[in-house]
A and B are shown apart, each in its own frame.
Chain A
Amino acid sequence: MKPSTQKRSLAFGLGLLLLLAGFSFLAPWLPLPEPESQALHRSLEAPAWWQNPILGTDLKGRDILSRTLAGARVSMAVGLWGTLLALFVGVPYGAVAGLFGGRIDRRMMRVADFFESLPLVVVVLFLLSIVQEYRAEMAAFGLQRIHLFYLAVGALFWLPTARVARAESLRLSQAPFVQAARAQGASRAWILRRHLLPNLAPSVLVMMSLTVPRVVLMEAFLSFLGLGVEPPAVSWGLLAAEGLAALSPLLGCWWVLVVPATAMALSLFALNLVGDCLRDRMQS
């Protein structure tokens, strides 16, 4: 891609994201019905475009636009928190492996290989279903399923971050300034804190922008299966599941599926675009 095109598509992606985020955060002040308020007599109304319901209602008469915007907040929060957790685990792991090198590095990477050889999604589903049993205890600690969910997503996505962080820190630990620090007798902890981690920031940023859309997809996937975000909270995965359930040849109510799907596609497209552009810039 030419640099000018790249810059333009980066701006386009960021602009689209800002627009979507702005709308979803302003949603409580917009003249829309509450996302959870049911009106059974207005079930499955078609989009009215210029008045409420602007984009139609679902099976229980809830406003689709309002629900999609509320779902955006949840999905984006899950995306950000899950990604931060994955980075929080993966970056130090990879950085330590790359800095120490040798046998420690080999051992740590063997562990990563082991996790890579697991069908992690299946294992996480299995774990989530087991942890369901302990909901009462978790509630006593103020934990909800959504917190578990962040953990699960973090567990799924720390591997690629760890690999990137390891490669970067292997490269950095051969760099002259790190060698100089080592020659002056700096400890490994010091080198890690002062030299490696700050210099990992750009590649971590790229990694983050590439991970957020994958986490959002994973959220949609798990919520779709009924093991993610729970009603009455809404997320795009749940909305898409409801939309799919409402599809039938008799009613033909496409808007229940198409509206949240379009919102999801647009924002994931924008996120992917931003991530790809940042990565290309880093490489060039």
Chain B
Amino acid sequence: MNNPILRRGLAWLATLFAVHAACFLLVRGVRGGPFDQERSLPPEVEASLRQQFHLDESLWRQYGRSLGQVLRGDFGPSMRYRDVEVGQILADSLPVSLALGGLALGVALAFGISGGLWAAFRRGFGFSLAFRFMTSLFLAVPNFVVAGVGILIFSFILGWLPPAGYGSLRHWILPSFALGLPFAAQIGRLSRNAALEVLESPDFRTARAKGLPPGPLLFRHVLPQVLIPVSAFLGPASAGLLTGSLVIEQVFALPGMGAHFVQAALNRDYTLSLAVTLIYTALLGACTFAADLLAKWLDPRVEAI
């Protein structure tokens, strides 16, 4: 148990296991099934549906069945869209969500780090006030408002970008910015503070005094120090991105997992929402672990993995 990677992996599996058990119990314990509709089904039809989804078995057998399915990576048919396998829905929507999250993370890192460095190098009163104002603004407004104002300006007034939908590369620009900019603001603040510290440190002053050109100065002295707090923030940021993508996918009508999850929660589509909850848990664990490894690699003094 001394291998930290092994320990983290086991903790991750235990978390998934616990989440699955808790969700399963909650879902089965709840009254009102997915077959409740405005018009009640004939009893024979309902009975055969229940049989088809094994809802007539004992709780333990259902649990064993569900666990076995999850271990095989097969989540069974969706309870709402009955002709579709949950696995199929996930296979279609997970890449969309991952692409959105990845793009938003890219926006956050690119704009956050470059903005923070720029603000650190230009310390005029007006400029730093403007920087503080911009970061506070993006930290204060929820991402769907950023999205709405973005649609208003770039789609309806300027007409440059499509307001919603999915297909070409241009469809991704507004969603990834709307999702990424609040995190860019946070990363910008972190990297500005870190860079200011470096600029006042003796090693930076020495490097500059011996005539190092700005390029190596930036990449060898400033950037490594700036990346340390940023990498520590990536764990919480991945949780935030995941949450934010639920809303952004709704706003831009992207066929991602978040949109499916919200619909499944409202529709009481048990199999689908259980699968999505598990996948989000797994993703979050993997992302925080990757962020911790990155932090450790960038700064070997970091102990906790």
State which of B70-78, B86-94, B197-205, B241-249 sits at the interface with chain A.
B241-249
Contact at B281–A119, with CB atoms within 8 Å? yes
Which of these, B32, B152, B163, B280, contacts A133 with CB under 8 Å? B32
- Which residues of the other chain, B, contact A122 by a CB distance below 8 angstroms? 242-243, 246, 261, 276-277, 280-281
Taking a contact as CB atoms under 8 Å apart, the answer to whether B265 and A272 are in contact is no
Which B residues are CB-close (under 8 A) to A221?
142, 144, 243, 247
**Min distance, Cβ B143 to any Cβ of chain A, angstroms:** 9
Knowing A258-B149, A261-B141, A265-B137, the reply to whether A126 touches B247 (Cβ < 8 A) is no
Q: In the bound complex, do residue B261 and residue A249 qualify as a contact, i.e. CB atoms below 8 Å apart?
A: no
Q: Are B284 and A126 in contact (CB under 8 A)?
A: no
- Beyond A118-B281, A126-B273, A261-B145, whether A249 also contacts B156 by CB under 8 A is yes
Q: Which residues of A contact B246 (CB under 8 A)?
A: 121-122, 125, 225
B-contact 0/1 string along A219-240, CB 8 Å cutoff: 0110011110000000001001
Please choose the segment from B19-27, B52-60, B96-104, B213-221 that sits at the chain A interface, where 4 or more of its residues have CB less than 8 A away.
B19-27
Given A133-B31, A247-B148, verify A123-B247 contact (CB < 8 Å).
no
Among B12, B141, B250, point to the contact of A117 (Cβ < 8 A). B12
Do B243 and A254 touch across chains, with their CB atoms under 8 A apart? Answer: no
Does A165 belong to the interface (CB within 8 Å)? no
Inter-chain contact A220/B285, CB cutoff 8 Å: no
- Bound together, the chains give a CA A245 to CA B280 distance in angstroms of 28
In angstroms, how far is the closest chain B Cβ from the Cβ of A116?
8
Residues of B within 8 A of A273 (CB): 136
Contacts of A265 in B (CB 8 A): 137, 140-141, 145
For B155, the chain A residues whose CB sits under 8 A away are: 249
B209 at the interface (CB under 8 A from A): no
Q: Could you tell me the distance between the alpha carbons of A39 and B284 in the complex, rounded to whole angstroms? A: 47
Q: Mark A115-144, 1 if CB is under 8 A from B, else 0.
A: 001111111011111100110000000000
Residue among B18, B148, B265, B283 making CB contact with A126, cutoff 8 Å: B265
Partner of B27, one of A114, A130, A237, A240: A130
Contact A244 B251, beta carbon cutoff 8 Å: yes
Distance (whole angstroms) from the CB of B52 to the closest CB of chain A: 22
CB-based contact A129/B15 at 8 Å? no
Q: How large is the interface on A (under 10, 10 to 19, 20 to 34, 35 or more residues)?
A: 35 or more
| Contact across chains for A272 and B142 when beta carbons are under 8 A apart | no
Say yes or no: B15 contacts A118, CB within 8 Å.
yes
Let me know if B288 is at the binding interface, CB within 8 A: yes
B1 within 8 Å of A by Cβ? no
Contacts of B280 on A, CB cut-off 8 Å?
119, 122
Chain A residue with the shortest CB-CB distance to B140: A268
A224/B247 contact (C-beta < 8 A), A126-B273, A261-B148 known: yes
Nearest chain A residue, comparing its CB with the CB of B151: A247
Contact of A225 among B250, B277, B285 (CB under 8 A): B250
Whether a CB of chain A sits under 8 angstroms from the CB of B110 is no
A217 CB within 8 Å of chain B: yes
Among A113, A126, A213, A258, which residue has its beta carbon within 8 angstroms of that of B277? A126
Q: Can you show 14 pairs from A to B with CB atoms below 8 A apart?
A: A117-B285, A121-B242, A122-B280, A122-B281, A125-B261, A129-B265, A134-B31, A221-B247, A227-B265, A240-B148, A244-B144, A257-B152, A261-B148, A265-B137
Binding site for A on B (CB under 8 A): 11-12, 15, 18-19, 23, 26-27, 30-32, 136-137, 139-142, 144-145, 147-149, 151-152, 155-156, 163, 239, 242-243, 246-247, 250-251, 261-262, 265-266, 268, 273, 276-277, 280-281, 283-285, 288
Kindly list 17 other residue pairs between chains A and B, CB separation below 8 angstroms, not including A258-B149, A265-B137, A268-B141: A118-B19, A119-B239, A121-B246, A122-B246, A123-B277, A125-B262, A126-B273, A129-B265, A130-B26, A224-B144, A224-B250, A225-B247, A240-B144, A240-B148, A241-B144, A244-B148, A269-B136
A residues neighboring B (CB under 8 Å): 113-114, 117-123, 125-130, 133-134, 213, 217, 220-221, 224-227, 237, 240-241, 243-244, 247-249, 252, 254, 257-258, 261, 264-265, 268-269, 272-273
